Amino acid sequence: MRRAIGIGLLMLASGLTPQPAEADILCKWFGRCLYESPGFRIAVVDRETGQPLADVHALAEWVQYGYHGTDGPLMVQDAVSGPDGLLVFPPWGPIRGSTAGLAVGYDPFVSLFKAGYKVSDTNNRGGSLDQRARVHGFGGDGQIYFLESFRGTPEEWVEQLRRAAYPNRPGGTSEQQARQFRDQYLSRMRGVWSERGKVPQQHQKEGQLFWHIERDIRFYEGDGR
């Protein structure tokens, strides 16, 4: 224990970037928790045809534990697939995050959206089981994901759009976090917004889904809430 504390004090005093084992010491004993991801890539294809899908918007959120205002996303990345169906997320970090760690299975949580297809939400299976580990890679790296064509009612499509606009992951999103990741969230909101002509008019009234989406788009564009 003395050696661990000594290493931690040395790293803090020197200002050096710690290696993973050293980062664990700093997090456990000094509350200086650093996190990073090595990046990943996945491919998206049509479930029926097996053909690659272009224009799929992917949103990856690394969610941290914490009290209100500090939980929610530590990092958010987005990507759009090309003709080859590939989605590439670059490495990030190390950056400082919550002393409570990242949410297991939501480090990252990946949401895939394309008009005309069911929304696909993917938890991080095969990722780190240690919420305070420094490195949080995606267990699905290199895998192929299948999107299923949507065949349903306009009301059912509204529910798909709701899932796309507001992915079902733990933690809130503070105003500061929303501003920090405005570009990524704005890309998703604009994609969902483009579908408003395909849903019943009632969902565009005040207090309904597209009223909230329009309000959030204005915020992300810098017009305030």
Nearest residue to 133 (alpha-carbon basis) of 61, 40, 36: 36
- Is 42 exposed, middle or buried, given 0-12, 13-18 or 19+ CB atoms closer than 10 A? buried
- What are the residue ranges spanned by the domains of the chain? 1-31, 32-220
CB 35 within 8 Å of CB 95: yes
Residue 14: predicted pLDDT: 44
**pLDDT tens string 42-76:** 999 999 999 999 999 999 999 999 876 678 999 99
Residue 225: predicted pLDDT: 53
Q: Model's pTM, two decimal places?
A: 0.87
CATH 3.20.20.120 describes domain 32-220: no
Give the pLDDT of the chain (225 residues) as one tens digit per residue: 444 444 344 334 444 555 555 557 778 777 889 999 999 999 999 999 999 999 999 999 999 998 766 789 999 999 999 999 999 999 999 999 999 999 999 999 999 999 999 999 999 998 888 999 999 999 999 999 999 999 999 999 999 999 999 999 988 899 999 999 999 999 999 999 999 999 999 999 999 999 999 999 999 998 655
Residue 9: predicted pLDDT: 42
C-alpha span between 195 and 66 (Å, rounded)? 35
